[in-house]
Amino acid sequence: MERPAWAPRSIDISVPSVSRIYDYYLGGSHNFEVDREAARKAIEFMPGLPKIMQANRAFMRRAVRFAVGEGITQFLDIGSGIPTFGNVHEVAQAEQPGAHVVYVDHDPVAVAHSEAVLDGNDDAEVVAADLRKPHEILASPQVEHLIDLNRPVALLLVAILHFVEDVDDPHGAVARLSKELAPGSLLILTHASYEGIPLPPERAEGTVDVYKDIRNPLIMRSRDEIARFFEGYDMVEPGLVPMPHWRPQTAPEDEDPYAFSGFAGVGRTA
């Protein structure tokens, strides 16, 4: 298998990766045949998967603009993936030049490509770290350099928590990160759920099985389980809702039915 120049030598390009599959759904070019094969299998069960990813990105951009409008100029995006058009730093720095952005991902391709995209941008950096080890993220030189935890921060956990199994205590990881955030900080979050998918659950389960097969289980949680991530936060209107319903800029009824799969919300620390 040909290894492209952008692929770090250390990665096994015969094993699919969640962030490269996501890149494929979004029409990106930083993926391998093994990723495309897994993505095509998942799409067989759930044809609207790319629409769900696009809805995630659209929500993220609206939420970042909202955060800047609230006076927040620091962004910590964990599970940021492979940069495609319209990333957090592009949106935030267009609205507020000089906004600080730190991306965090454990996929070496995502990190290497982020480094290339951010080259020359003094206000944005990337950390190779894992959401399951929040202390490593907070203690990283990049966070210490760009994020002042005594001032409000927007913490983004977009389409990442559903890849953390209960045994790895995702609620605990979010609580530990939240504890370090100054009053007035925001938690910006999306999460997959069987609720809202325009398919019978057993059909959607086919997609879940594809992720299980590549050893990156996709954990579908209920709305109530997702709401628990916001413990200690005041929900920003309209609360925890399907993605197109969160402060839409276009009529939600014009959206693809798949865009309503899962939930999105923003909470504010008191």
One digit per residue, pLDDT tens: the chain, 270 residues?
Answer: 677 777 777 778 789 999 999 999 999 988 999 999 999 999 999 999 999 999 999 999 999 999 999 999 999 999 999 988 789 999 999 999 999 999 999 998 899 889 989 999 999 999 999 999 999 999 999 999 999 999 999 999 999 999 999 999 999 999 999 999 999 999 999 999 999 999 999 999 999 999 999 989 999 999 999 999 999 999 999 999 999 999 999 999 999 999 999 999 999 998
pTM of the complete model: 0.95
Alpha-carbon distance 15 to 214, whole Å?
Answer: 8
Question: What pLDDT does residue 163 have?
Answer: 96
Half-sphere exposure of 134 (CA within 13 A, CB side): 17
Question: What angle (nearest 5°) sits at the alpha carbon of residue 20, between those of residues 15 and 22?
Answer: 130
Measured in degrees and rounded to the nearest 5, phi and psi for residue 88 equal: -55, -45
Which sign does the torsion angle of CA 200, 205, 207, 208 carry? positive
| Domain 18-269, second-level architecture | 3-Layer(aba) Sandwich (3.40)
Alpha-carbon distance 23 to 174, whole Å?
Answer: 25
**Strand-by-strand arrangement of the 124-128 sheet:** 124-128, 100-105, 74-78, 154-158, 186-191, 263-269, 233-235
Alpha-carbon distance 116 to 49, whole Å?
Answer: 28
Alpha-carbon distance 103 to 114, whole Å?
Answer: 8
